[in-house]
Chain A
Amino acid sequence: MVSDIWWLFNKYVKLSLRTPLWSLFNLIQPLIWLLIFGQLFQSMAHLPGFPAASYFDFFIPGVLVMTVLFGSSWSGVSLLREISAGTIDKMLVAPVSRLAIVVSRLLHAAVQVVIQTSIILVIATLLGSAVNLSLTGVLPAMLIVFLLGLTFSAVSNGLAMLLQREEPLVVLGNLMTMPLLFFSSAMVPESLMPGWIQSLAALNPVNYAVTAIRSALGATPSLTEYAIGLAVTFGFTVAAVAWAFTSFNAQRE
């Protein structure tokens, strides 16, 4: 089982390395957001009750989560491609567990977004952000990124099995990403949100992930905030992976 996951993961890593540009394309959109939004909303930091010194610094955790959502919501498309290309069949006629097939795909997507977010962090630092780049800040933040990557690639793979077609999957992936980001503190601190959005944000697991990352990368990390964020994200991950596996497994001709 572990060796199956390893070899399949290995294959997906190789595929990514052969198309490095594609992985970099995923960075363009978050970078544009970072540069433009970071500038556009600059004066927001002057509002009373704004929790950070500069909007740019405040926004970075939001951009990281955005990168995860944009990057991992594509995972299901490649599953559908693999099914129609016949390579999944090749795995299924080998004595490989189905769980290994699903898990290797999700691991690959999660590792990919960890690398992408690291690049974003480096660029943000070069642009003068003051986020906490110590290991105690970055590692916990990356743990959340990793779990969130697993979660959203699982959701995408699960949806892929449900929808069976690429087009609705892409549409639904985009449709899902935006509200999850807007109804979280990715761009606007919770204290400045209207009440109804605050209540929605309280139900949004992505919001907890953003808060946890912000707390880890902040100057004075709050362990409680991080722990709550980690717990919620982890629960979300387990549920999503279980669902992805079930829907992959449920396909019966």
Chain B
Amino acid sequence: MIVVENLKKTFASGVTAIDALSLEVRGAEICALLGPNGAGKTTTIRVLTTLAGFDDGRVSVAGYNVDTEPARVRQAIGLVTQQTGVDFLLTGRENMTLQGRLHRLPKTRLAERIDRLSEYFQLADHLDQPVMHYSGGLRRRLDIATALIHEPKVLFLDEPTLGLDIHSRKMLWQLIDKLNREQQLTILLTTHYLEEAEHLAHRVAIMTAGKISVIDAPRTLIDSIGGQSLILTLEDGGTTMTTLQHALEGLPFVREQRFVGNELHVYVDNGAESVPKIVRAADELGITLKTLSLARPNLDDVFLKYTGQTLDSDNDQTEQPWWQQWAGKGSGTWQKKWADPAKSDDAHTSSWPPHDAAGENDSPQSWQQHHDRAGDRSSTPGQAPWPDSSRHDRPGKE
């Protein structure tokens, strides 16, 4: 559905935004670009949505070349930007109507779409209120609904839950997940929230400095750094802790141990099986465990492994403060931020991309048909390994 080959982009300032990026997103997949601020996630989205030009490489979305067929790409995609792309003085209905008009939907069809979308995104009660009275979560839902007015095949979400409270965030996750399952909508989202990537995405692409270092199912990525960690604390710390550590070193299933404060972190292949063995080992030494907990490595550990840095450090720093934006070297977030596709000068061969690309065959289907197909994605490779019922109830990290 999305094919990016060797994409390169350097800003006029000489800063490399995207550095030889390749990515393939399959139809009906949720793919997350996970990375810190400044990793090039937003720029990548802007290139894929025809809003920005690029220097080199090939990009196709929904089977159309972004460079040579921008108008067709635009028909096939919906975009939700980081900023709220809805007008505050207009009502929800007016915002959706305008976007539908710009997509040239006939009047009856537009009314039908607004009804469906407002029901789906639970906007019906607020539809005729000006957006300035909306809460953050409601506004974001309207924003997504507006982007879906023309039934696109691919939805781009740039930091969809940035700045939202936990409740709104989880609600959005459910809606995004449902959209994907029921409408077979392909979704590419960017995020710097680990939990979001892990929770929503079938595959996560870890991105730093304009490059994707690794892309895979979140579970696979986490498993790749191995096993689980057991966190032990003892009734009496100090030397007994060292004794225990020496004893555990001899056990075959223990990969690595590390002291963190007064805790001992033991990395093992299989946590559940290791617990009784470790308890027994401690008993044999006459050491009393105070607490023992089992933790899974998370995407932050993966991030650390592949990029050598941790994401947590800048988790909630959403934007530059205003004085930096003003005093900035003219590279504020809204500066020179879109391209004129008509003036693109890259000469790509017209034979690319192949027009039988995934998803091209997907004729637009009604919502009802989509509902009937709900849940049949079990064969999709790389999908989230946990069953749906538990997906939104898994222990959070917040």
Contacts and interface: CB of A to CB of B under 8 A. Distances in A.
Contact of B340 (A80, A91, A250): A250
Among A11, A15, A92, A93, the most chain B Cβ lie within 10 Å of the Cβ of A93
Nearest to A253: B52
A164 to B, nearest CB: 5
Contacts of B146: 90
A83 B338 CA distance: 10
Main secondary structure of the interface of B (DSSP, over half): loop
Given A94-B74, A251-B338, A252-B339, A89 B81 contact: yes
B61 to A, nearest CB: 11
Given A4-B102, A15-B89, A86 B94 contact: no
Contacts of B86: 87, 90
Interface in B130-156: 130, 146-147
B109 to A, nearest CB: 15
Interface string A133-144: 000000000000
Interface in A194-253: 249-253
A87 B102 contact: no
Interface string A13-29: 01100110000000000
Given A3-B101, A94-B102, A252 B336 contact: yes
B206 to A, nearest CB: 24
A90 B100 CA distance: 11
B83 interface: yes
Contacts, number: 112
A22 B84 CA distance: 23
B51 A7 contact: no
A84 interface: yes
Contacts of A96: 102
B102 A7 contact: yes
Given A85-B83, A86-B82, A164 B335 contact: yes
Interface in B71-102: 71, 74-75, 77-79, 81-90, 94, 98-99, 101-102
Nearest to A100: B102
Interface in B315-349: 326, 330, 332-340, 343
B71 A93 contact: no
B49 interface: yes
Interface string A61-103: 0000000000000000000100111111111111110100000
B85 A87 contact: yes
Nearest to B87: A87
B367 interface: no
B83 A252 contact: no
Contact of A253 (B71, B85, B102, B337): B337
Interface in A94-128: 94-96, 98
Interface residues of B, number: 46
Contacts of A91: 102
Interface residues of A, number: 33
B79 A93 contact: yes
B46 interface: yes
Nearest to A251: B336
A92 B51 contact: yes
A84 B46 CA distance: 15
Contacts of B51: 89, 92-93, 253
A88 B101 CA distance: 15
A14 B131 CA distance: 14
Contacts of A84: 83, 333-334
A164 B87 contact: no
B11 interface: yes
B183 interface: no
A18 B104 CA distance: 25
A102 to B, nearest CB: 12
Contacts of A4: 102
B14 to A, nearest CB: 14
B50 interface: yes
Contacts of A19: 89
B343 A164 contact: no
Given A86-B83, A251-B336, 4 more contacts: A80-B334, A93-B74, A251-B339, A252-B339
23 contacts: A11-B94, A18-B90, A18-B130, A84-B334, A85-B87, A86-B85, A87-B86, A89-B83, A90-B99, A93-B51, A95-B71, A95-B74, A95-B104, A164-B332, A165-B326, A165-B332, A250-B340, A251-B338, A251-B340, A252-B336, A252-B340, A253-B11, A253-B53
Interface of B: 11, 43, 46, 49-53, 71, 74-75, 77-79, 81-90, 94, 98-99, 101-104, 130, 146-147, 326, 330, 332-340, 343
Interface of A: 3-4, 7-8, 10-11, 14-15, 18-19, 80, 83-96, 98, 164-165, 249-253
